Amino acid sequence: MIADVIELAEYLRANSPDKLIKKAVEDSETEALIIDLNTRGQLGRFINSEGVRLSDIGGEYAKLTQELKGLGPTEVNLNDTGEYWNSYQVNAVKGGYEITSDPIKDGDNLEDRYGDNLEGLTKENEQKAEGIIERKIWQQAQSAL
């Protein structure tokens, strides 16, 4: 038991906080969970990272799109083909992470219509992401013992 604590202390001492966060964020499971918070957890609920409905920013989908997708007038999720949601990535940056995507679809920039808060998390989802990263750091530290 004491040997495990010593090993854990040595592991944490050998790895800076930025290095620990980077390793956790670059884990494919962590990345997928954070992307899911942004896409399904927000865009799938028709909101941006500020919690504002996308339809309030860029307007509603055309009536035909609403009918074909079975969406209501204010249900804009930017997931017609899946291409946009699939472009999301999470990158480690000093002290945390950054979410990026490719908002150019069919020659149009989705951010021109729906604003530049498509990428990023609401305060609630930021807290969830921090918990995911913290758990991953502990998992990685324990597996290093």
Q: CB neighbours of 12 closer than 8 A, spacing ≥ 6?
A: 20, 141
Q: Which residues pair with 90 in a beta bridge?
A: 99
* Band of pLDDT at residue 4, cut at 50, 70 and 90: confident
> Mean pLDDT over residues 25-29, rounded?
97
Q: What is the pTM of this model?
A: 0.89
Q: Does the pLDDT value for residue 145 go beyond 80?
A: no
The torsion angles phi and psi of 18, rounded to 5 degrees, stand at -60, -40
Instruction: Pinpoint the alpha helices (H) of 15-144.
Output: 17-25, 28-38, 54-58, 63-69, 83-86, 110-114, 123-143
Instruction: Return the sign of the alpha-carbon dihedral for residues 81, 84, 90, 91.
Output: positive
Q: What is the CA radius of gyration of the chain?
A: 19
- Over residues 131-143, the pLDDT tens digits come to 999 999 989 888 8
Q: What is the DSSP secondary structure assignment for residue 44, as one 8-state letter?
A: G
pLDDT at 11 over 90: no
Residues 6+ apart with CB under 8 A from 84: 78, 101, 102, 103, 105, 110
Q: What is the pLDDT of residues 61-91, one digit of tens each?
A: 999 989 998 999 999 999 989 999 999 999 9
